[in-house]
Amino acid sequence: MSTCPVIHNGEEAPKLDFGGTTPYEDYVHASVLHTLQKQASDDPREMSFLVITQIMELYFGLLVFEWRQAQRELRADDLRAAVRTLRRSDLHMQGLNAAWRPIARMTPGEFNSFRDALGEGSGFQSGVYREMEFLLGEKSRSMLVPHRAVPELHDSLEAQLHAPSLYDDVLAALHRQGLPIPAEVLARDVSQAYEVNADVEQVWAEVYRGDHRDLLELGEALTDIAEEFARWRYDHLLATRRSMGAKVGTGGSAGVAWLEKRTRRSVFPELWTARSFV
Annotated binding site for substrate: 115, 250
**Do 26 and 94 meet the contact criterion of CB atoms below 8 Å apart?**
no
**Do 218 and 176 meet the contact criterion of CB atoms below 8 Å apart?**
no
8 membership: H or E segment, kind and range: strand 7-8
Distances in Å between the Cα of 268 and the Cα atoms of 19, 36, 43, 155, 272 are 52, 36, 41, 26, 8
Known binding site for heme: residues?
A: 236
**Do 93 and 232 meet the contact criterion of CB atoms below 8 Å apart?**
yes
**Do 83 and 218 meet the contact criterion of CB atoms below 8 Å apart?**
yes
Q: What single string gives the DSSP state of each residue in 184-234?
A: HHHTS-TTSPP---HHHHHHHHHHHHTT-HHHHHHHHHHHHHHHHHHHHHH
Query: Among residues 85, 124, 84, which one has the least CA distance to residue 251?
Result: 124
Known binding site: residues?
A: 115, 236, 250
- Helix (H/G/I), strand (E/B), else coil: 37: coil
Q: Give the CA-trace dihedral at 167, 169, 174, 177, to 10 degrees.
A: -160
Can you tell me the distance from the alpha carbon of 120 to that of 122, in angstroms, rounded to the nearest whole number? Answer: 6
Can you tell me the distance from the alpha carbon of 218 to that of 163, in angstroms, rounded to the nearest whole number? Answer: 21
